Structure 1
Amino acid sequence: MTSVAESRSRPREPGARSQGRLLVLTGDPGAGKSTHCRRVAQAAREAGMVVRGVVATDEPVAGGARRWLEDLRGGERVLLGRMATPEQIAAGEPRWALDDAALDRCSRILAEAGPADLLVIDEVGPLELLQGRGAIEGVRAALSGRYGAALVVVRPWLVERFAELFPAPRPEVVDVQEPDALGRLLAAVVAREPA
């Protein structure tokens, strides 16, 4: 096993392989998928790796939450959407009201990610996988680019659809609720061991 210290001493060419490992992180809402993405990205940076992509952060507000996307390249935060109130959800409105301009910005961030040791996409959801909308063009561009490993968040019921649309490299699925899921992701990305 390669230690983080050893991996820091090795020179890296970002995205040395055209398409590296494809890790799909899945799990129930609120189970910690975004937290795991942030931790893996931080560990990769500490190991001297180039990290690109987007990670989500929810901010509680009166009556719900706001969801922000952070560009891992430069730290830009984009307000992606707002969670509907319980009354709105009960009336049949979607759980999240997403901003089209923010989705376009997310798509551009991903399309312009460039070579990376670690590409993070938090998350590819029903808008992209079932409707071909949202940030799907950026997701396609990023996943067809050069990366050592890609960590992509996908809801459990959409994993099969994701694998149909992005079959190569073969996705390795990690459930956030599995024992030591974070350790497996860190080993796969930073030490480049099997997930």
Structure 2
Amino acid sequence: MGAGKTTYCRQRVEEMQRSGADVAGVLSPARFEAGVKTGIDVVDLRSGERRPLAHLRTVDEGGPGEGVYTRRWRFEPEALAWANQALAAATPCDLLVVDELGPLE
């Protein structure tokens, strides 16, 4: 939770990619607006494709309703499924990265 886990993972991924390693998996970088964390994306490390994974819950969303929720976040079911597919297709590879949210924010 703000400890730099994703930054650390991203730096190691970039180092490995520069050395020619086949890196696969997912990163979950935060999205900020005016210095405030407002969302979390998911990035497929092989393709570079990025999708919105979660956004801050609002009062009018109620809850829990459908989908995956935490106290602060509403996760997008389609993005979770997409990330799962990226992970399922990730091997074989030299480095598999699964950047989790700590602990689910």
2:47 paired with 1:74: yes
Give the Å deviation of 1:60: 1.2
Question: Which structure: greater strand fraction?
Answer: 2
TM-score (norm 1): 0.44
Identity %: 37
Give the Å deviation of 1:83: 2.2
Question: Which structure: greater helix fraction?
Answer: 1
The number of aligned residues is 93
| SS in structure 1 at match of 2:47 | coil
Q: Which runs of 5+ in 1 are unaligned?
A: 1-28, 126-153, 156-195
2:56 is matched with which residue? 83
User: Given that residues 30 and 37 in structure 2 are in contact (C-alpha distance below 8 angstroms), is that contact kept between their aligned partners in structure 1?
Assistant: no
Larger radius of gyration: 1
Give the Å deviation of 1:50: 0.5
TM-score (norm 2): 0.78
User: Given that residues 64 and 84 in structure 1 are in contact (C-alpha distance below 8 angstroms), is that contact kept between their aligned partners in structure 2?
Assistant: no
CA RMSD of aligned residues (A): 2.2
Out of 64, 73, 80, the residue aligned to residue 103 of structure 1 is: 80
User: Given that residues 42 and 53 in structure 2 are in contact (C-alpha distance below 8 angstroms), is that contact kept between their aligned partners in structure 1?
Assistant: yes
1:53 is matched with which residue? 25
Question: 1: distance between equivalents of 2:25 and 2:77?
Answer: 18
| SS in structure 1 at match of 2:71 | coil
In structure 2, what residue type is equivalent to 1:77? R
2:97 is matched with which residue? 120
In structure 2, what residue type is equivalent to 1:100? P
Question: 2: distance between equivalents of 1:39 and 1:64?
Answer: 21
User: Given that residues 53 and 76 in structure 2 are in contact (C-alpha distance below 8 angstroms), is that contact kept between their aligned partners in structure 1?
Assistant: yes
In structure 2, what residue type is equivalent to 1:71? D
Question: 1: distance between equivalents of 2:98 and 2:47?
Answer: 15
